[in-house]
Each structure stands twice: as C-alpha cells, then as structure tokens.
Homo-oligomer: A and B are copies of this chain.
Amino acid sequence: MTTFPPPDFTQPKFADFPDARFAPAPADGVLPDGFFSTTNLPTFVRLDGAWIAPREPRMDSGIIMDPDGVLWVREGRRLKKGDMVAVGDKEDGSQGIYVQTQLVPHGVDPDAFTFMSSEVSREKPIDYAHMAKVLIEEKERGGYPIWVTGPALVHSRARTDMSWFIANGYVGALLAGNAVAVHDIEASIYGTTLGMTNTGEITQGGHGLHMRAINMVRAAGSIANAVDQGIITDGIMYECVKHKIPFVLTGSIRDDGPLPDVITDALAAQDAMREHAIKATMAILVATALHAIATGNMLPAFVSQDDGNMRELATICVDSSEFVVSKLKDRGTHQAFGVVTNAQDFMHILRLYVERELDTRGAAARTAAEPAAR
C-alpha cells in the first residue's frame, strides 16, 4: 500500500497563497454559494498561515469551521444557518485549499505500449495471499476493518466463512441491509434462503419462510433478543451479537419486514454508517453496489498514521462483474481494488489463505520459540 508524507508547505509555491475564505450558511441544510465541494483525498485549509487538515474527511461535503476554529468536513444537510463554510473551486491551494493527489491513479505509462492495462478485469490474478496478510496485520495493529456486504454473501452460503471472520476478530463493524440479516436468520431457523436449500433446491411453500423468520424476530423485539431466546442459533448476526461486533442494518425500499434493528431513515442510516467509516482503517465491500457506493461516498481515500504520514485506505471491492467496481471508481473511490469473482468463492479462499498464513506464522513462532524451550 502506498504511504506518503503530507505536502511540504515550505515550498515556494505555497508562500503567496491566501488564507481560505468562509461564508455563512444561508439556511439550515443549505450551503453558501460557491462552497468548496470536498473529495476523499487529503485536504488542507490555510488558516492564519497554517495548513490544517479538516477532521472527518469525505467527498461531496462542505468544510465548516466551528466556533472554536476547528475545521470539519460535513454534509450540507447537517449545517445550521450561519455555520461558516469554506468557499472556493480550486484545489491547488491558490484559494487557500489544497488537495493532495498522490492517490489518484496515473493510468498506464503514457509512453509505452502494453497489454493488460485495464484497471479492473476478471483476467487479472487475485492475490489472496496479499489480502490475507493485510487483513491479519490490520487485526494485529488494532485496526478497524469495516465489512460491507450484500445478500449474495448469505444467499450463496458464504455465511459460514463470514461468521468465522466475525468470530475470529477480523471484523470491526458490519454494514449491511435488511436482506443480509433476513437471509442469515432464515438460514438459521429454517435452513433455507428465500426458500432455497444450501444445495440449491427449491422447497415447497418456501417463498414464505423469510417472512416467517422476520415475523419471529419482530415478535422478539430485536435480533439480540432473538439470539438470547434461542431463536437464532448460528450465523452472521448470531456471531455479531455474541462477540459484540457492532452492526448497522440500513433500510431500503426493497425490504420485507423489516427486522426491528433496521434503520429505515436513509439519513439516520448514513449517520450510523459514517460513525464506522470515520474509524475505518480498511474496507471490504462484497457483492453489493448500493452499500459499497454508499460507503465509498463517506470513506476517505487515506488513513492518517501516528507517524504523521498517510497511507492509502485499503479498499477491496468484490463483485461478479467489472461494472460495480468501475462504477465505484467512477463515483470517486479510486483507491478501490477490484476482485471480479463470486462472493461465495472469494470468502472461502480468503479464509483459507488467512488460516494458512496463521499456520505459517504459528509454525515460525514455534520454531523461533524452540531453542528457548530446550
């Protein structure tokens, strides 16, 4: 992963740049004319001659200065009338706002003819060993990997593998929709998803089973209650409850039910997701366009390290087609690394490589420990 220092603001070109200008929000939820529209890249605002990075970076938002002079990146809808908002449309510092572009892809070497230069392709090798190492390192350094998943994950029975990742400490938070939890809970109660067994057979009367599962959880009052009452006895939601891994279930117009834990208001749901996006040090987006792009919208492209440097926020996007990954990049999440495969297979192999890497490390550790043991 790319690591890079903050800009060197002692360079001559920065010397003559002015402080950023601010203008008040004309009404609640409305930005002033000419507001600076943020990206997900490292951004610095000049205040009294110093270049300050606003907190909680994300794209498509404004930069506000609170009464204490602290800068925040904030969605327009959350503004109050009179909030002071940075204005400008240049990203080169000439209006007091500077955006660092190290993470923007540079395309192919413009001076060479090559094959295989496309960004996302099912023909590119998938480096599971590397992904497994990154994930293990995240766990070791106390990172906060967020997993964002679509229902295909459960539907196609990667459920066991996802449960394993939760139970073994590789999940900081789970962001998903109603359907993921519904399919998962139907699988726990009835052994089917949308009435289909785990070998793909369709059961008689199966079309009603997800409705019955939802109804049982609604009767229990919450997923956690349903776990406590022994209604839900295994799976993704079960492991989240047991291991106290936070989950955000966001509502959509497709939802049946919904389950009682679902946040049905889209803006409240965004706020709940953003609490985790702010903390994220890695993002794994599996088999979902809606949730992946929603998360991409609110995720910085970088992580600020303790040593003052920044590093790319490792973002893996898994889908059956190149389209979702390209779409995610086309919405500005350029740092996304695309894996074009079936979600079920991705989960299974990633887990396998994590287990292998742990075995290797365990063996190495034992070997290293042996002389001492003698």
**A330 interface residue per 8 A CB criterion:** yes
Stretch from A199-207, A232-240, A361-369 that touches the partner: A199-207
Asked whether B116 lies within 8 Å of A196 as measured between CB atoms, the reply is yes
Closest beta carbon of chain B to A310's beta carbon, Å: 6
How many chain copies? Answer: 4
**A93 interface residue per 8 A CB criterion:** no
Given contacts A40-B332, A42-B302, contact A294 B108 (CB under 8 A): no
Q: Which residues of B contact A103 (CB under 8 A)?
A: 301-302, 312, 334-335
- Counting contact residues on chain A (CB < 8 A from B), the size range is 35 or more
Asked whether A302 lies within 8 Å of B41 as measured between CB atoms, the reply is yes
Closest beta carbon of chain B to A213's beta carbon, Å: 11
Asked whether B156 lies within 8 Å of A60 as measured between CB atoms, the reply is no
Q: Which residues of B contact A278 (CB under 8 A)?
A: 56
- Interface flags for A264-278 (1: CB within 8 Å of B; 0: not) read 111101100110011
Binding site secondary structure of chain A: loop
Q: Which residues of B contact A101 (CB under 8 A)?
A: 110-113
Asked whether B104 lies within 8 Å of A108 as measured between CB atoms, the reply is yes
**A250 interface residue per 8 A CB criterion:** yes
Q: Which residues of B contact A320 (CB under 8 A)?
A: 122, 320-321, 323, 340-341
Q: Which residues of B contact A205 (CB under 8 A)?
A: 89
Smallest Cβ-Cβ distance to A268: which chain B residue = B264
**A342 interface residue per 8 A CB criterion:** yes
Interface positions of A from 269 to 325, Cβ below 8 Å from B:
269-270, 273-274, 277-278, 289-291, 293-294, 296-302, 304-305, 308-312, 314, 320-323
**A140 interface residue per 8 A CB criterion:** no
Asked whether A116 lies within 8 Å of B195 as measured between CB atoms, the reply is yes
Stretch from A12-20, A163-171, A343-351 that touches the partner: A343-351
**A105 interface residue per 8 A CB criterion:** yes
Q: How far is the CA of A126 from the CA of B158 in the complex (A)?
A: 10
**A124 interface residue per 8 A CB criterion:** yes
Given contacts A112-B104, A322-B322, contact A266 B257 (CB under 8 A): no
Q: Which residues of B contact A329 (CB under 8 A)?
A: 117-118
Q: How far is the CA of A269 from the CA of B266 in the complex (A)?
A: 11
**A130 interface residue per 8 A CB criterion:** yes
Given contacts A40-B332, A329-B117, A335-B103, contact A35 B254 (CB under 8 A): no
Excluding A36-B208, A118-B326, A123-B155, 6 further A-B contacts by CB distance (< 8 Å) are A58-B300, A106-B106, A115-B330, A127-B200, A253-B273, A256-B297
6 residue pairs bridging A and B, Cβ less than 8 Å apart: A6-B308, A76-B218, A101-B113, A127-B200, A130-B199, A251-B265
